[in-house]
């Protein structure tokens, strides 16, 4: 009885209500959020001064100015809406001005994050009876790691915080504790799955993998090569989630696996075109989020820099919120090569599909007119064939890209050397904000 209560009475989850009711409640929460933000955030007091202080509809939000990562970095202190003693957690994003950009969270914000990830875990089929192995870091100011831990805690499940530990260490825990779920980066979960398979381990307890940071599905909801690798090892057991430190909100896939569900009471999501205008469902643009109920650093219309689209159809899981597509790329990583516009992912998808490639990264340089792209590839077996890779890349992109062979150790040092997350895209372009 207790488990069913936790499962279906997840308090304040509007997602299962009829759409009109969700919109009614979202509108109320949006107006509360705008009032709070105008009152407490110096940045919004200043930038919204020209707008009348009256309640709005969700559509009227489009008249408000957007907030970019650059605004957040440039006027960082002005975004804080609470006195310093009310701050519970501080994290840093890389920012765009050269100095780290601070994000403040209050106790209420951390609780909100936990509630958010609890809803995501429920959507992915995790129950209070599960043990959840966390293979992401909780330190290094990584707010998502803390949010996943909070989500497990709030759900009433048991967290195993093994973090960025070795394959051997995770395998030992899986053997002894038989977790029902694992949270981690998909490329790592592929490595872990192969290691467990080679060791002949029984993994039948693991019903759910929550995949963070790397897309496993494309715009048609088909598996990416990385998703195919996961599918081969963990068939139909993985769910993708999307989040960022600034928006303090995550969108997790449900059992239908066709887009992430933003919790109805925590976020309003818009997709904007190049001119900053909202586009209809199905059209691709910049994912822009107004996170509701945030108190430390509330934001209005925050442009995430990530590219995706909205899916406005009823979901078979019974949730009636809009869904967000897999992230198709980052706006800042858009490449312009010989008149063609594309994202690094077009290259990465090809490289992911080649078994002999252990790892890779991309460097982009050049001026505003045309980008110069170079790929650095490490082979796992002694069968380096750059010419074949070059052909496969050409077939997909119609571009000839220089490919350099590096050792696995070199690739690893570059990819994992500078950040808590793997970085495979290095932007050396001039005027790169
Ligand atoms: Zn659903």
Is 176 a residue whose pLDDT tops 90?
yes
Residues contacting 134, CB < 8 A, separation 6+ = 145, 148, 149, 152, 159, 160, 161, 162, 163, 183, 184
Q: Per-residue pLDDT tens for 18-69? A: 999 999 999 999 999 999 999 999 999 999 999 999 999 999 999 999 999 9
> The CATH number of 334-427 is which of 3.30.230.10, 1.10.10.10, 3.30.300.30, 2.40.30.20?
3.30.300.30
Residue 95: how many CB atoms within 10 A of its CB? 16
Measure 318 CA to ligand 1 centroid, in angstroms.
Answer: 6
Q: 75 alpha carbon to ligand 1 midpoint, in Å?
A: 37
Place of tokens 């759910």: 208
Span 128-137, average pLDDT: 95
What band does 423 get if pLDDT is binned at 50, 70 and 90?
A: confident
10 Å CB burial of residue 309 (0-12, 13-18, 19+) is buried
DSSP label at residue 224: P
Confidence band of 211 (pLDDT split at 50, 70, 90): very high
Q: How far is the CA of 261 from the centre of ligand 1 (A)?
A: 7
Per-domain residue ranges for the chain? 1-330, 334-427
Note the residue count of the chain: 433
Statement: residue 304 has pLDDT above 70: yes
pLDDT higher than threshold 60 for residue 7: no
301 vs 41, 247, 308, 310, 367, CA distance in Å? 14, 10, 16, 15, 30
* Residue 93: per-residue pLDDT: 81
Mean pLDDT of 218-232: 92
pLDDT of 9: 57
Q: Pairing between strand 181-184 and 208-212?
A: parallel
Average per-residue pLDDT for the chain: 90
254 CA → ligand 1 middle, Å: 5
Cα distances (Å, whole numbers) of residue 365 to 28, 342, 378, 395: 47, 15, 21, 23
At the fourth CATH level, the homologous superfamily of domain 1-330 is ANL, N-terminal domain (3.40.50.12780)
**Is 271's pLDDT higher than 60?**
yes
Question: Which band of pLDDT confidence, cut at 50, 70 and 90, is reported for residue 8?
Answer: very low
pLDDT at 290: 98
Q: Please, which pLDDT band fits residue 336 given cuts at 50, 70 and 90?
A: confident
Element (H, E) at 91: strand 87-93
Q: How far is the CA of 319 from the centre of ligand 1 (A)?
A: 5
Confidence band, pLDDT 50/70/90 cuts, at residue 1: very low
DSSP string, 240-304: EEEEETTTTEEEEE-TT-SSEE--TTTEEEEEE-TTS-B--TT--EEEEEEETT--SS--SSEEE
Give the Å distance between the CA of 324 and the centre of ligand 1. 11
What residues flank ion ligand 1 with Cβ within 5 A?
254, 256, 315, 317, 319
Task: State how far the Cα of 233 lies from the Cα of 193, in Å rounded to an integer.
Answer: 6
Among residues 23, 428, 17, 69, the alpha carbon closest in space to that of 244 is found at 69
DSSP state of 68: -
């Amino acid at each position: 009885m207790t488990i069913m209560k936790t499962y279906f009475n997840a308090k304040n989850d509007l997602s299962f209500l009829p759409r009109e009711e969700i919109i009614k409640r979202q509108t109320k929460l949006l107006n509360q959020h705008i009032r709070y933000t105008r009152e407490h955030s110096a940045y919004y007091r200043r930038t919204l001064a020209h707008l009348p202080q009256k309640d709005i509809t969700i559509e009227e939000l489009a008249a408000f100015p957007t907030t970019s990562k650059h605004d957040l970095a440039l006027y960082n202190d002005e975004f804080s809406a609470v006195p310093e003693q009310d701050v519970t957690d501080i994290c840093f994003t890389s920012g765009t001005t050269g100095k780290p950009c601070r994000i403040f969270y209050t106790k209420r914000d951390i609780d909100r994050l936990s509630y958010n990830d609890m809803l995501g875990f429920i959507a992915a089929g995790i129950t209070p009876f599960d043990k959840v192995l966390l293979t992401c870091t909780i330190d290094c100011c990584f707010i998502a790691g803390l949010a996943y831990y909070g989500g497990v805690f709030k759900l009433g499940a048991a967290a195993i915080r093994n973090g960025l530990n070795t394959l051997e260490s995770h395998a030992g825990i899986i053997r002894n504790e038989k977790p029902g779920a694992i949270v981690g980066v998909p490329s790592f979960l592929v490595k872990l799955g192969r290691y467990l398979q080679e060791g002949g381990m029984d993994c039948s307890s693991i019903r759910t993998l929550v995949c963070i940071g790397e897309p496993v599905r494309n715009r048609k909801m088909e598996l990416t090569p990385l998703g195919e690798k996961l599918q081969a090892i963990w068939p139909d057991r993985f769910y993708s989630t999307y989040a960022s430190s600034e928006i303090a909100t995550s969108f997790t896939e449900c059992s239908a696996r066709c887009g992430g569900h933003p919790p109805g009471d925590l976020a309003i999501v818009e997709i904007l075109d190049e001119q900053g205008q909202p586009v209809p469902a199905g059209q691709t643009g910049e994912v822009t989020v107004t996170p509701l109920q945030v108190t430390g650093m509330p934001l209005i219309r925050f442009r995430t820099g990530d590219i995706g689209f909205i899916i406005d159809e009823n979901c078979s899981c019974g949730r009636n919120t809009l869904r967000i597509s897999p992230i198709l790329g980052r706006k800042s990583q858009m490449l312009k090569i010989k008149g063609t516009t594309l994202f690094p992912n077009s290259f990465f998808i090809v490289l992911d599909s080649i078994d002999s490639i252990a790892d890779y990264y991309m460097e982009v340089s050049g001026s505003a007119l045309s980008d110069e792209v170079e790929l650095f590839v490490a082979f796992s077996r002694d069968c380096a064939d750059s010419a074949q890779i070059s052909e496969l890349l050409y077939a997909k992109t119609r571009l000839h890209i220089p490919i350099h062979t590096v050792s696995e150790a070199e690739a690893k040092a570059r990819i994992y050397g500078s950040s808590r997350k793997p970085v495979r895209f290095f932007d050396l372009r001039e005027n790169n904000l």
